[in-house]
């Protein structure tokens, strides 16, 4: 990077999650958070120190990540991640579905809070509530896509405190999404965020309520599709990148 700087090259860094999520900082606002063990705080600080020495502008995808580096770079920018909405044909939940399909696709069970989701599912099944549940693991990309398309409810994560690509892609499909969003960050997102908020303490009641309310599932799914079109389409986001590049 020093060579690039000396050559007059303009640089910007884009952080995506675990590479800057400091556990001690996260725990101040999130009692549920877990981090990837390979990203120790020493490793994170050393990495940022090396980057910020030569780079002034850092980009993150949401307010949760912004908090970890807002005072470590000269300029920190929040730009929502982009998805190609045109690749996702909406399939809104059927209001006449009496046994909705719930899916959860954990990239990391520990980080996503999968154990709480499974426990909630088992408790609701024992209560006699009618629904189907599919844990998407070890499937091909095509098989996973098909299950998401068929689903009536998508559960993303219960620990991180922000939503990512799983939530956005599910919303693009017109599915209601359950995900944990930190309470102190909700107002920092664009207005109308339609995600159904749940954490490890509330997932059973939140999921049970959504299972019992098919009209809410459909309405939330529709709002999610509109939200993604408004806030995550590349055509809407690209200008934010151009503004930053023009400032370099």
Confidence of residue 26 (pLDDT cuts 50, 70, 90): very high
Looking at the domain covering 86-231, what would its CATH class be? Answer: alpha beta
Tokens of 237: 């986001």
Q: Are 103 and 151 in contact (CB under 8 A)?
A: yes
> How high is the pLDDT of residue 219?
98
Give how far the C-alpha of residue 129 lies from the chain's centroid of Cα atoms, to the nearest Å: 28
Mean predicted lDDT score pLDDT of the chain: 93
Q: Within the chain, which residue ranges are assigned CATH 3.40.50.2000?
A: 86-231
pLDDT digits (tens, 9 = 90+) for 115-172: 999 999 999 999 999 999 999 988 888 888 899 999 999 999 999 999 999 999 999 9
Distances, alpha carbon 239 to alpha carbons 62, 87, 172, 231, in Å: 17, 21, 21, 12
Predicted TM-score (pTM) of this structure: 0.92
């Amino acid at each position: 990077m020093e060579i690039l700087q000396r050559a007059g090259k303009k640089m910007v860094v884009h952080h995506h999650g675990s590479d800057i999520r400091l556990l001690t900082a996260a725990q101040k606002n999130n009692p549920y958070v877990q981090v990837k063990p390979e990203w120790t705080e020493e490793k994170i600080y050393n990495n940022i120190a090396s980057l910020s020495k030569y780079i002034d502008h850092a980009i993150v995808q949401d307010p949760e990540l912004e908090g970890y580096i807002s005072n470590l770079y000269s300029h920190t920018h929040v730009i929502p991640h982009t998805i190609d909405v045109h690749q996702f044909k909406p399939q809104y939940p059927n209001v006449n579905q009496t046994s909705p399909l719930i899916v959860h696709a954990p990239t990391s069970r520990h980080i996503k809070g999968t154990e709480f989701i499974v426990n909630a599912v088992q408790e609701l099944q024992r209560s006699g509530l009618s629904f189907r549940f599919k844990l998407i693991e070890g499937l091909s990309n095509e098989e996973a896509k098909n299950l998401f398309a068929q689903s009536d409810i998508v559960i993303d994560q219960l620990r991180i405190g922000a939503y990512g690509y799983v939530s956005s892609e599910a919303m693009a499909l017109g599915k209601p999404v359950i995900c944990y969003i930190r309470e102190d960050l909700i107002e920092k997102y664009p207005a109308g965020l339609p995600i159904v908020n749940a954490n490890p303490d509330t997932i059973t009641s939140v999921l049970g309520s959504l299972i019992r309310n098919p009209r809410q599932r459909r309405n939330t799914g529709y709002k999610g599709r509109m939200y993604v079109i408004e806030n995550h389409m590349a055509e809407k986001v690209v200008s934010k990148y151009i503004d930053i590049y023009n400032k370099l």
